[in-house]
Structure 1
C-alpha cells in the first residue's frame, strides 16, 4: 500500500493525544500528465494561469522511476496547480478517463466572486473552443464544468452564500449518520443500501440534537 492508504486501525485521534494541529489553506494540487504541450498551453494560454515554477529531476525513489518534469501554475491566493510529466513513459490504463461519473469526482474548482464573472468565464471559454457545461446550482454554489486536455475535470464556481453555524451542525449530523450506516453495512458484509438509510438515521440524530439543545 502507498503512503496514507488503508484503514485507520490503530490510528490515534486528536482527542486521544491532546495535540491540535492546524492547516492554513491548500498549497497545491498535483496530477500526472502525458500531454506536456497541451497541458502547458491549456493552463497558461487558455485559462491564463502564470507558469511560476518547474522542477526537472532524474528519477526519484525506487529503481526504474522515470525522470520527470514537475511544473506549477499560479492558481490564485498563494496556491498552485501542478503536474508531473514522466519522461519516456506512457499513460497506464488506470489513468484513462472512463467516461463514468465516478471519474468526475476528482476535480479542481476555482472561485469567482460574482454571477457576471462566472458568465464571462463560460462565454469566453466557449469562444476559445472549450465545451462548457450548463450552469449547475448545488446548494451554496453555482458552477460550470469542463475538462483539460488530460481529461481532468475543472470547475469554476461562485458562492451563493457563506456557510453558517446551522450548516456545520447539519454536516456533522449528516456525516455521523452516514458513517454509522456504513459501519453497520460493513459489519454485515454488504454495501450501504441507499441515501434513504442515511436520511432515516439522520432524522433520529436530529431529534436527539433538538432535545439536547433544548436543555
Structure 2
C-alpha cells in the first residue's frame, strides 16, 4: 500500500536559472537549497544538458526548476487560460497576506487581489518565467472545511455527468458569506 508523506518537490521549467533563483530569493524570501547540472538525463540517458535548481518553499516543501538550453523556447499551453496553472503558497493569516502584497508591490511586482474565495483569500502575480503565483491564507472554519469535504463526492459525480457547476458549495461566493 502506498503511504505518501508529502510532496517532496514540484518541478517547472524556467527560462534562466539564475534569474529564477534571484526572483524567488528576493521577492519571496525562499532559500536556494541545491543546484544539480548534468549533460545527460539520468533516467533516460538522453544527451540533454540541464540545470535543476531547488528552493525551500517552507515546511519541508521544495519548489524546483529546470533550465533546458537546448530545447525550444519555453511557452505555456495556449489552450489553457493563464489563471489555471499556478503555484499557491500559504501564508499565516490575512495580515500576512496584506503585508506580502505591500512588500511585493514595493519590490516592483504587479499584484492582483486580494480575492476572497469564501474559505481563503488570495493575491496573484507572475514570476519571470510567466508562471502564475498565488499567496493565500485560510479564512474558513473547521466546520466549513468539513462541509466542503462532505459534499465533494456528490459534486464530482454531478460534474462528471452535467459539466455544469454543482451548487452544493455555492455559499462560498454568496455576498453575505464574503463580507
Report Cα offsets for 1:160-180 as digits up to 9, x if no partner: 024543221111110111123
Name the residue aligned to 1:136: 115
The structure with higher relative contact order (CA 8 Å, sep 6+) is 2
Q: By how many angstroms is 1:101 displaced?
A: 6.6
2:10 aligned residue: 29
Deviation at 1:59, TM superposition (A): 1.9
Match 1:113 to one of 86, 89, 92 = 92
Counterpart Cα distance in 2 of 1:116 and 1:168 = 27
Quick check: which one's helix share is greater? 1
TM-score (normalised: structure 2): 0.82
Which is greater in Rg?
1
Which of 139, 153, 161 does residue 180 from structure 1 map onto? 161
Q: Is the Cα contact below 8 Å between 2:17 and 2:66 reproduced in 1?
A: no
Verify the 8 A CA contact 1:32 1:83 in the aligned structure 2. yes
Q: 1:101 to 1:128 in 2, by over 3 A?
A: farther
The residue aligned with 2:171 is none
Alpha-carbon distance, 1:23 to partner = 1.9
Aligned-partner SS, 2:70 = coil
Counterpart in the other structure of 1:5: none
SS in 1 for 2:112: coil
Gap runs ≥5 in structure 1: 1-18, 182-191, 203-215
Q: Does 1:103 align with 2:85?
A: no
In the alignment, structure 2 segments of 5+ residues that lack a partner are 169-179
Given the superposition, is the C-alpha separation of residues 62 and 27 from structure 1 closer, same or farther in structure 2, using an over 3 Å criterion? closer
SS of alignment partner, residue 139 of structure 1: coil
Contact 2:17 2:53 in 1 (8 A): no
Q: RMSD across aligned C-alpha pairs, in angstroms?
A: 2.2
Question: Do residues 49 (structure 1) and 30 (structure 2) align?
Answer: yes
- SS of 1:131's partner is coil
More divergent stretch after superposition (60-69 vs 115-124): 60-69
Q: 1:143: how far off?
A: 0.3
- Cα drift, residue 25 of structure 1: 2.1
The structure with more strand, counted as a fraction of residues: 2
Aligned length: 165
